């Protein structure tokens, strides 16, 4: 959730910390702060609000020059959004920033209070700082103190720490939370995400969980509990600096919507042999799926909606029973284990805590796991038996667009691959569908983007309304679920998605004159049923907008405003529809004056359960 960054080196750390926090702000933007070490003391500046508010506070403060600093941008978990709950937190010798959750915080808060400690914040982070300070006062050895405290903490964390009497070095450690380290030409860096490091270093390392890292003027060292240390082994970063910038677009979300044609091609590139799906480039054994008789898909949010669509494709094309599970529920009510079960875990960030927990629960039962993620070398990618990267590139806007797009694409490719292995679809048909995915679908996305002004008129129809419904049948219901979420996320309009046939089983009572309803229809076999559902809500006064294949538009013209999609096949229909629903949400949010990149109460990477 939260974002942390640290630097120690030969240059002024403050501009590096604030620039890194700006990049990491999608991980949380309730408050921001930094701690600067120098002249035998640590200066902390922090406040509620965005990084720009922190920068304004810095401008009003006497200039700080330091070569060693840590920073934090917060998504509130323990404690409300207040200045005193903002990070960094200082207790005695220890100044600390933290991403994660300390699960036994209450126990240690009570014990420390009985020992006479008075807490100034509501955060679990201050409890960790107090424990570290107590240990350090006894040992005067940072490594011994840190390892001692790690033995008594439960939860997830990425800590970056400065000790008041060691103001030229930073200590860091992680457990079930992301943390990367990098050696640049001008010093040493740590951060929650590669996007904050790409401007300063071309290589990076993900330290093992529970291993303390020390960064100082001499370099970066992995320091083990037995007293040994070694230098990290770095890997090349494939990310370009420009990928983490807006590139002339007003918002990251708009940029990422427009990047979907390239992202879709990148997701499929290299995964084909003789016109058929092939995952050998990913070191996925050809026979990996041969003994699969049931598939569980676990994911959260938009990734879960991608899974909902993928499950329909897999069952339709392969005949394999496929069930989608909300990741946060999976391990608390796991279905009976059956031989031949495969778990597919989907996560854009590769660090989603609920999905990671579900993955581990499945592995503990001997269920093999295939991961679909975007961010490389993340926890889910490392712990799965095999991983397929979406190659969507950095996604900075909190609401996913190209991440969702590429997840759907890979699930579709898996379905085609399995169809070929199981001979449930003729090879010529599989080749044709894969060609549509690679060639026609990106063009369909671009065609919808070119019609943004028309979609803006649909958004205009939502003006003045605070609730609406999305409806669809079959795969269109799966798409409607994502369209509804996208609208809620960034415009704060209360929206619900329903399988269209379910409306009359209770929810239609909420339809009154003027209620907006957005209906999706891309399946010919379901068009007449959808027409009946559209007429049901229109007859009760709903203001209906239908997004459908152009060939079906005449069906709905008398009952609704129609946005026809030029779709020649299933593949173009799905990707055109997802782009249209993203742009409707985007335009609605913009009309309402919302911050589309950083919607309230949300963070990009959910690393706490």
What phi and psi values does residue 174 have, to the nearest 5 degrees? Answer: -135, 155
SS3 of 456-488: the string is HHHHHCCCCCCEEEEEECCHHHHHHHHHHHHHH
Lowest-confidence region among 64-73, 221-230, 581-590, 595-604:
595-604
**How would residue 378 be classed by pLDDT, with cut points 50, 70 and 90?**
confident
The encoded tokens of residue 143 equal 């490594």
32 and 154 housed in the same domain: yes
Rounded alpha-carbon distances, angstroms, from residue 513 to 509, 556, 584: 12, 19, 22
390 and 455 housed in the same domain: no
pLDDT in tens, 417-434: 999 999 999 999 999 999
Lowest-confidence region among 4-8, 506-510, 571-575, 589-593:
506-510
289 and 373 housed in the same domain: yes
Range 559-582 average pLDDT: 93
Examine residue 603 and state whether it is found in any structural domain, yes or no. Answer: no
Q: Which residues contact 151 (CB under 8 A, 6 or more apart)?
A: none
| DSSP states along 74-128 | E--SSS-S-TTTSSPEEETTEEEEEEEEETTHHHHHHHHHHTT---SSS-HHHHH
CA 199 distance to own-chain centroid: 22
Question: How would you class 348 by CB atoms within 10 Å of its CB: exposed for 0-12, middle for 13-18, buried for 19 or more?
Answer: buried
Beta-strand relationship, 3-9 and 187-191: antiparallel
- The parent domain of residue 440 ranges over 248-448
What phi and psi values does residue 306 have, to the nearest 5 degrees? Answer: -60, -40
Range 225-239 average pLDDT: 88
The encoded tokens of residue 32 equal 């921001």
Rounded alpha-carbon distances, angstroms, from residue 522 to 81, 253, 578: 44, 25, 11
- Residue 400 is predicted with a pLDDT of 95
- Residue 79 is predicted with a pLDDT of 77
- CA nearest to 449, candidates 250, 596, 259, 593: 259
The domain boundary, picked from 214, 243, 272, lies at 243
400 and 462 housed in the same domain: no
372 and 472 housed in the same domain: no
297 and 395 housed in the same domain: yes
Known active-site residue 2 = yes
Look up residue 231 and give its DSSP letter: P
Examine residue 471 and state whether it is found in any structural domain, yes or no. Answer: yes
Examine residue 26 and state whether it is found in any structural domain, yes or no. Answer: yes
Biggest CA pair distance of the chain: 79
Range 367-373 average pLDDT: 96
pLDDT in tens, 18-54: 999 998 888 888 899 999 998 778 999 999 988 899 9
- Residue 606 is predicted with a pLDDT of 59
**Residue 328 confidence (pLDDT) above 80:** yes
- CA nearest to 471, candidates 433, 439, 517, 419: 517
- Residue 189 is predicted with a pLDDT of 96
CA distance 15 to 294: 52
Mean pLDDT of the chain: 92
Examine residue 31 and state whether it is found in any structural domain, yes or no. Answer: yes
Examine residue 347 and state whether it is found in any structural domain, yes or no. Answer: yes
Examine residue 133 and state whether it is found in any structural domain, yes or no. Answer: yes
Radius of gyration of the chain, Cα coordinates, nearest whole angstrom: 25
497 and 372 housed in the same domain: no
402 and 378 housed in the same domain: yes
The domain boundary, picked from 243, 270, 290, lies at 243
3-state percent helix, strand, coil for the chain, nearest multiple of 5:
40, 25, 35
Examine residue 598 and state whether it is found in any structural domain, yes or no. Answer: no
Range 464-487 average pLDDT: 95
pLDDT in tens, 141-163: 999 999 999 999 999 899 999 99
436 and 478 housed in the same domain: no
Rounded alpha-carbon distances, angstroms, from residue 75 to 18, 35, 102, 316, 326: 17, 18, 15, 40, 22
3-state class of 192 per DSSP?
Answer: coil
- Residue 242 is predicted with a pLDDT of 54
pLDDT in tens, 196-213: 898 899 899 999 999 999
- Residue 568 is predicted with a pLDDT of 82
CA distance 537 to 509: 10
The domain boundary, picked from 182, 215, 243, lies at 243
208 and 318 housed in the same domain: no
Rounded alpha-carbon distances, angstroms, from residue 161 to 86, 215, 376: 15, 10, 26
**Residue 106 confidence (pLDDT) above 70:** yes
CATH code where residue 347 lies: 3.40.50.10490
508 and 580 housed in the same domain: yes
- CA nearest to 5, candidates 162, 176, 235: 162
**Residue 333 confidence (pLDDT) above 60:** yes
CATH code where residue 222 lies: 3.60.20.10
- Residue 591 is predicted with a pLDDT of 95
Range 45-64 average pLDDT: 89
The encoded tokens of residue 382 equal 């490392």
Which of 16, 254, 402, 604 does the annotation list as catalytic? 604
Pair 152, 603: CB distance under 8 Å: no
CA distance 59 to 65: 13
294 and 405 housed in the same domain: yes
- CA nearest to 376, candidates 159, 194, 182, 172: 194
- CA nearest to 407, candidates 298, 493, 321: 298
Examine residue 68 and state whether it is found in any structural domain, yes or no. Answer: yes
Total tally of structural domains belonging to the chain: 3
- Residue 448 is predicted with a pLDDT of 97
pLDDT in tens, 124-144: 999 999 999 999 999 999 999
CA distance 334 to 284: 26
């Amino acid at each position: 959730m939260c974002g942390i960054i640290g630097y120690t080196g030969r240059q002024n750390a403050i501009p590096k910390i604030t620039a890194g926090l700006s990049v990491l702000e999608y991980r949380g933007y309730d408050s921001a702060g930094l701690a600067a070490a120098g002249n035998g003391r640590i200066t902390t500046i922090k406040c509620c609000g965005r990084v720009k508010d922190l920068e304004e506070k810095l401008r009003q403060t006497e200039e700080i020059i330091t070569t060693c600093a840590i920073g934090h941008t917060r998504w509130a978990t323990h404690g409300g959004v207040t200045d005193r709950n903002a990070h960094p937190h200082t207790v005695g010798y220890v100044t600390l920033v933290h991403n994660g959750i300390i699960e036994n915080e209450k126990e240690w808060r009570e014990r420390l209070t009985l020992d006479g400690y008075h807490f100034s914040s509501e955060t679990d982070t201050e409890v960790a700082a107090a424990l570290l300070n107590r240990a350090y006062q006894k040992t005067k050895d940072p490594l011994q103190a840190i390892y001692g405290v790690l033995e008594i903490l439960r939860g997830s964390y990425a800590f970056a720490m400065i000790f008041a009497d060691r103001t030229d070095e930073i200590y860091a450690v992680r457990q079930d939370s992301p943390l990367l380290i990098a050696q640049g030409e001008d010093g040493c860096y740590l951060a929650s995400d590669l996007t904050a490091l790409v401007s300063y270093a071309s290589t990076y390392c993900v330290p093992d969980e529970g291993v303390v890292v020390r960064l100082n003027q001499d370099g970066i060292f992995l320091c083990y509990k037995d007293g040994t240390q070694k230098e990290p082994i770095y890997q090349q970063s494939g990310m370009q600096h420009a990928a983490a910038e807006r590139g002339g677009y007003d918002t990251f979300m708009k940029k990422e919507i427009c990047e979907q044609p390239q992202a879709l091609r990148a997701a499929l590139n290299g995964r084909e042999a003789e016109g058929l799906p092939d995952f050998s480039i990913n070191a996925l054994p050809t026979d990996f799926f041969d003994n699969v008789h049931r598939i569980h898909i676990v994911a959260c949010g938009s990734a879960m909606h991608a899974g909902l669509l993928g499950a329909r494709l897999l069952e339709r094309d392969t005949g394999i029973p496929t069930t989608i599970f909300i990741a946060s529920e999976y391990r608390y009510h796991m279905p009976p284990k059956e031989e031949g079960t495969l778990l597919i875990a989907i996560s854009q960030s590769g660090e989603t805590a609920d999905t990671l927990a579900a993955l581990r629960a499945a592995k503990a039962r001997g269920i093999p796991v295939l991961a679909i993620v975007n961010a490389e070398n993340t926890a889910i990618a490392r712990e799965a038996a095999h991983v397929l990267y979406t190659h969507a590139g950095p996604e900075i806007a909190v609401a996913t667009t190209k991440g969702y797009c590429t997840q759907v694409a890979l699930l579709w490719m898996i379905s085609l691959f399995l169809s070929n292995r199981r001979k449930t679809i003729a090879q010529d048909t599989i080749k044709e569908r894969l060609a549509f995915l690679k060639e026609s679908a990106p063009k369909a996305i671009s065609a919808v983007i070119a019609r943004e002004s028309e979609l803006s008129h649909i958004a205009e129809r939502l003006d003045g309304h605070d609730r609406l419904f999305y409806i669809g049948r079959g795969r269109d219901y799966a798409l409607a679920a994502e369209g509804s979420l996208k609208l809620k996320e960034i415009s704060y309009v209360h929206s619900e998605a329903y399988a269209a046939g379910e409306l009359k089983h209770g929810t239609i009572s909420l339809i009154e004159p003027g209620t907006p309803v957005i209906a999706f229809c891309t399946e010919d076999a379901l068009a007449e049923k959808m027409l009946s559902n559209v007429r049901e809500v229109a007859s009760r006064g709903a203001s209906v907008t239908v997004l459908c294949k152009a060939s079906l538009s005449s069906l709905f013209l008398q009952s609704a405003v129609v946005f026809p999609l030029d779709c020649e096949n299933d593949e173009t229909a799905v990707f055109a529809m997802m782009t249209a629903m993203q742009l409707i949400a985007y335009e609605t949010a913009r009309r309402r004056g919302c911050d589309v990149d950083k919607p309230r109460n949300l963070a990009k990477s959910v690393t706490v359960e």
